Amino acid sequence: MRYYRYGRDALFVGLEMLGLGPDCEVLLPASLCEVVLLAFMKRGIRLRYYGLNAGFEPSVDELESRLGPRTRAIYVNHFLGRPTEMRAVRALCDRRGIALIEDCAHAYGATSDGGPVGTVGDIAIFSYRKFLPIADGGGLRVNSIELPLPEALPVRTGTAGWAGAKAAIAWAGGIGLLPLATIQRWRGTVESYLDPQDNLDAGGWIPPAGISAESQVAIRAADMQEVTANRRDNYRLWTQVIAGIKGPRPVFPDLADGQSPFCFPILVEQRDDFVRAMSRHGFYLEPTVAPPYRRIETLENPTEPFPEMQTVADHLVSLPVHQSLTGRQRDRLAGAISAFFR
C-alpha cells in the first residue's frame, strides 16, 4: 500500500504504473466524479463509457461488447459503498489480457466474498478521507505481481494546517454535520452543486503529493470494524425512517453483506427543491452521483445516451450515515424530510 494526499493522486500514479497513455483506451462507468476523469485526461488516455443498471451494477456482456483493439483496462467502482461483483469482470480481463482497476473510494471497510475490497483489481485506489475525519488521505494498492510498488512520496509534515481545517470543515459539511453558513463559504452554494459544470479542464491538475503525517497516523489508528458497524447501524435506521415516508425511494433494496455505506442514497422526484428545502433547515445534502460528463476530448462515445445513469444522477440525494452522527441530528433531519413530503 502507498499513501497519497488524495485518491486521485493514487490513481494518477497507478495509471502510470499500468503504462496507460495516449494510445490506450479504458472502459469507465458512465458516472464518475470529475477528479477521476481528470486523472485520465491528464495522461491523454482515451475513454469509453459503459452503462450501469439503476443499482450501479455493470453487465459483463456489455463490457465485453465494448472491448476494442486499443482497450487496455476496465475501471470498476464500488458505488456508494456497495461491493460490485468482481469475479466475472476479473475473468473477462484475464481472458482478454487487460488490466482491472478497482475504485474503493466509496467503500473503505467493505468486504466482498469475505475479503476486503481492493484485492481483485490489478491496482485499487482508496480515499480514506471520505470515511474518517481527516483532511487528506488516499491510497494505492498494487495486487498484480507483475507490477512493482511505486516509490513512496514523502509524507508531508506540518502542512495540514489551515488547508486541513478547511478540508475538514468541507467534509463535515458534506455529511450534514455543520451549519450551512459555515460551509457555504468553503464549498460554494447548494446551487453550484445542483448545476454541475460539464467543462472539465485538466490544465490546473496538481501533481501527486504524499499524505500528511497527521492523516497517516489517523488512518492506521482507525478501527474500521467499528466504523463500518456504526455506519451500517445508521443505514438500517434510515431504511426504517424512509420506509415510513411516502415519496423518497431507497436506491438499494437492502443493506448487502459486506457493504460499508458511504451514505444512505435515496431517489427524490423533486430533487432540487428537496435539496434547497433541506439546506434551509441547515442540512447540506449532496447529489453525490454525477451525470455522464460529455465534454471530454478523448471520450469515444460522448453522445451515447445513458438513461439509467442520467435518471439516477438527476434524482439521487445522500443522507448521512457517518459514524459520529448522533440520534438528535438524525431525528432533526428525519423531521425535516417528513415535513417536506407531507
266 forms part of the interface with ligand PLP (CB under 6 A): no
Which member of 36, 93, 266, 313 binds ligand PLP (CB under 6 A)? 36
Query: In the complex with ligand PLP, which residue's Cβ is closer, 57 or 273?
Result: 57
Rg, C-alpha atoms of the chain: 19
208 forms part of the interface with ligand PLP (CB under 6 A): no
Judged by CB under 6 A, the stretch of 49-57, 102-110, 251-259, 317-325 that binds ligand PLP is 102-110
Query: In the complex with ligand PLP, which residue's Cβ is closer, 28 or 266?
Result: 28
d(C-alpha 156, C-alpha 219), whole Å: 15
Burial 229-262 (b: 16+ CB within 10 A, else e): ebbbebbebbeebbeeeebbebbbeebeebbbbb
Residue 220 grid coordinates:
492506521
CA 98 to each of CA 27, 70, 340: distance values in angstroms, whole numbers, following the listed order: 11, 10, 48
Which member of 25, 102, 103, 122 binds ligand PLP (CB under 6 A)? 103
112 forms part of the interface with ligand PLP (CB under 6 A): no
Judged by CB under 6 A, the stretch of 6-14, 58-66, 238-246, 297-305 that binds ligand PLP is 6-14
Residue with cell 489551515: 162
Nearest to 122 by CA among 150, 136, 141: 141
Query: In the complex with ligand PLP, which residue's Cβ is closer, 174 or 248?
Result: 174
Q: Give the CB-nearest residue to ligand PLP.
A: 7
Query: In the complex with ligand PLP, which residue's Cβ is closer, 122 or 237?
Result: 122
102 forms part of the interface with ligand PLP (CB under 6 A): no
Residue 149 grid coordinates:
510498488
For CA atoms 80, 256, 83, 118, give the dihedral sign. positive
Helices (H), 195-301: 213-221, 224-243, 271-280
Task: Report the nearest approach of ligand PLP to the CB of residue 3 (Å).
Answer: 11
Strand ranges in the chain using DSSP code E only, listed in sequence order = 2-4, 25-29, 46-50, 71-77, 99-103, 111-112, 115-116, 123-127, 138-142, 249-250, 264-267, 316-319
229-233, Cβ contacts within 8 angstroms, sequence gap of 24 or more = 230/323, 231/81, 231/109, 231/131, 231/260, 231/261, 231/321, 231/322, 231/323, 232/259, 232/260, 232/261
Task: Report the nearest approach of ligand PLP to the CB of residue 221 (Å).
Answer: 19
**271-280 and 327-341 are packed helices; what angle lies between their axes, rounded to 10 degrees?**
130
271 forms part of the interface with ligand PLP (CB under 6 A): no
Query: In the complex with ligand PLP, which residue's Cβ is closer, 126 or 283?
Result: 126
Which member of 2, 48, 82, 106 binds ligand PLP (CB under 6 A)? 106
Which member of 38, 105, 120, 134 binds ligand PLP (CB under 6 A)? 105
Left (φ > 0), alpha (ψ -120 to 50) or beta: where does 223 sit?
beta
6 forms part of the interface with ligand PLP (CB under 6 A): yes
Residue numbers 55-94 binding ligand PLP by CB under 6 A: 77
35 forms part of the interface with ligand PLP (CB under 6 A): yes
Task: Report the nearest approach of ligand PLP to the CB of residue 334 (Å).
Answer: 26
Binding track over 117-156 against ligand PLP, x by CB under 6 A: ----------x----------x------------------
Q: Which residues here bind ligand PLP, judged by CB under 6 A?
A: 6-8, 32-33, 35-36, 77, 103, 105-106, 127, 138
